C-alpha cells in the first residue's frame, strides 16, 4: 500500500483529476471533482469547498458529525490512479488559514469560499490499470480470456 508521501506530487499536480466521494445521511453516494485538493504539510488531504449550498458540503459536514468515510480518487496525466479512503477531520469556516484561502479564491475566481476541508487518509490503493492488470494476471489467472490461452494460427 503506498503512503501519502509516495503520491504527494501526483495529488498536488494541477493536471491530476481529483474526485471526492461522499455519502448523504440517507446513504445516497455523491461524487464531485475537487481540483483544489492537495496534500498539506501534515500529510492530510485538503480542498476548498466553494459553495455552501453544494451537496458535497452538506455531505462532508454530515460525515464529520457522524465520522463517515470519504473516498478520493485521483488520476494523473500519466494514467496513474489511486483511491484514498479517509475521514473528515476539520472544516474551517473562520480563522487565519481560512482567511488566506478566502482571499486567494476571491482573487482567482471572484466569489466566496465556503470552507477549507481537511481529510485524514486511512488507506490508499493503487488503481492504475497496468498495475491492476499485472495483479490480475498473477493472482487471478482464471480471468484470462480464452483467446490468450491458445495461440491463434
Domain hosting 61: range is 4-128
User: Residue 145: pLDDT above 70?
Assistant: no
User: pTM (2 decimals)?
Assistant: 0.85
Instruction: Give the pLDDT mean for 25-47.
Output: 96
Q: How many domains does the chain have?
A: 1
Q: Is 153 part of a structural domain of the chain? A: no
What pLDDT sits at residue 127?
86
Q: Is residue 44 part of a domain?
A: yes
Q: Is residue 139 part of a domain?
A: no
| Segment 135-152 mean pLDDT | 64
DSSP-assigned states of every residue in the chain:
---HHHHHHHHH-TTSEEEEEEE-TTS-EEEEE-TT-EE-TTS-EEEEE--TTSHHHHHHHHHHHHT-EEEEEEE-TTS-EEEEEEEEEEEESSSHHHHHHHHHHHHHHSS---EEEEEEEEEEEE--HHHHHHHHHHH-GGGS-HHHHS---
The answer to whether position 64 is within a domain reads yes
User: For residue 121, what pLDDT is reported?
Assistant: 97
Question: What pLDDT does residue 47 have?
Answer: 97
Residue 148 lies in a domain: no
Looking at the domain assignment, is residue 25 inside a domain? yes
Domain annotation covers residue 98: yes
Name the strands in the sheet holding 38-39, side by side, starting at the edge strand that comes first in the sequence.
Answer: 29-33, 17-23, 69-75, 81-92, 115-126, 45-49, 38-39
Mean pLDDT, range 14-20, rounded to an integer: 97
Is residue 72 in a domain?
A: yes
Amino acid at each position: 500500500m503506498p503512503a501519502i508521501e509516495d503520491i504527494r506530487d501526483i495529488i498536488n499536480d494541477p493536471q491530476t483529476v481529483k474526485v471526492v466521494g461522499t455519502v448523504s445521511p440517507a446513504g445516497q453516494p455523491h461524487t464531485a471533482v475537487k481540483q483544489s485538493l492537495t496534500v498539506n504539510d501534515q500529510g492530510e488531504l485538503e480542498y476548498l469547498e466553494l459553495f455552501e449550498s453544494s451537496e458535497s458540503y452538506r455531505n462532508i459536514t454530515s460525515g464529520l458529525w457522524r465520522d463517515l468515510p470519504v473516498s478520493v480518487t485521483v488520476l494523473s496525466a500519466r494514467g496513474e490512479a489511486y483511491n484514498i479512503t479517509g475521514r473528515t477531520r476539520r472544516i474551517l469556516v473562520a480563522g487565519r488559514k481560512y482567511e488566506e484561502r478566502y482571499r486567494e479564491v476571491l482573487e482567482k475566481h471572484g466569489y466566496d469560499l465556503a470552507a477549507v476541508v481537511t481529510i485524514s487518509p486511512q488507506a490508499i490503493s493503487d488503481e492504475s490499470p497496468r498495475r491492476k492488470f499485472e495483479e490480475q494476471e498473477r493472482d487471478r489467472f482464471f480471468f484470462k480470456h480464452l483467446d490468450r490461452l491458445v495461440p491463434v494460427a
